């Protein structure tokens, strides 16, 4: 006997956005950090950004050149190490809205920036640099800024 096929229903973006807003407005900071941080990690891997970073084969200068010389990034204007090479400063391009599809509506949850994007960048730059990093969001369109910029601190040990 054949099982009847059940039509697949597309994901409802409004439902996802509403649950993210609910989590952001109702949960403590540690819980928001955990949930939205995992969302950023999932974004990094499901979008196969790990494969993109691996394509640089550890050549950090090639990655920097892609941003600074080739101007190949739609979102980043500059990416430069401080003189002591312990911090990487990412200056974003001026934007009208957040690059994240989950933030594409009026008053998206700030946790998308504070935890999700932060974690995505920690995965990205940690993999690129081959060590643990701590990302600090210094300016973001979602938080009212003109651009999305971060400071990436290399973590010893």
Q: How does DSSP classify residue 55? A: T
Q: Is the CB of residue 98 less than 8 Å from the CB of residue 113?
A: yes
Asked whether residue 6 is domain-assigned, the answer is no
Structural domain of 78: 13-154
What whole-number distance in Å separates Cα of residue 116 and Cα of residue 35? 8
Structure-token pair, residue 103: 């933030």
In a domain, 52, yes or no: yes
**Structural domain count of the chain:** 1
Give the rounded percent of residues in the chain with a pLDDT score beyond 70: 99
Over residues 9-34, the pLDDT tens digits come to 787 888 989 999 999 999 999 999 99
Positive/negative CA dihedral, 36, 40, 46, 47:
positive
Domain membership of residue 109 (yes or no) is: yes
**Residue 20 belongs to some domain of the structure:** yes
Q: Is residue 1 part of a domain?
A: no
Instruction: Give a yes or no: residue 92 inside a domain.
Output: yes
Band (pLDDT 50/70/90 cuts) for residue 36 is: very high
Helices (runs of H) and strands (runs of E) counted in the chain: 6, 4
pLDDT of amino acid 45: 96
Give pTM, 2 decimals.
0.89
Tell me: pLDDT of 1 over 70. no
In whole angstroms, give the CA distance from residue 77 to residue 89.
11
Asked if residue 4 is part of any domain, the answer here is no
E-strand ranges in 87-142 read 87-92, 133-139
CATH number where 22 lies? 3.30.1380
Domain membership flag for residue 91: yes
At residue 157, the pLDDT reads 62
| Neighbouring C-beta atoms of residue 20, cutoff 10 Å | 20
């Amino acid at each position: 006997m054949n099982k009847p096929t059940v039509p697949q229903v597309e994901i409802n973006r409004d439902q996802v956005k509403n649950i993210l807003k609910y989590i952001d407005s109702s949960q403590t900071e540690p819980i928001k950090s955990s949930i939205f941080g995992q969302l950023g990690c999932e974004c990094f891997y499901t979008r196969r950004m790990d494969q993109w970073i691996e394509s640089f084969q550890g050549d950090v200068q090639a990655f920097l050149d892609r941003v600074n010389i080739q101007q190949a990034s739609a979102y980043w204007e500059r990416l430069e190490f401080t003189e002591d090479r312990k911090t990487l400063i990412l200056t974003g391009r001026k934007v009208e809205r957040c690059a994240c599809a989950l933030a594409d509506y009026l008053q998206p949850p700030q946790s998308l920036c504070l935890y999700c994007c932060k974690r995505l960048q920690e995965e990205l730059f940690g993999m690129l640099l081959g060590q643990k990093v701590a990302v600090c969001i210094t300016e973001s369109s979602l938080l009212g800024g003109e651009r999305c910029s971060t400071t990436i601190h290399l973590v010893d040990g």
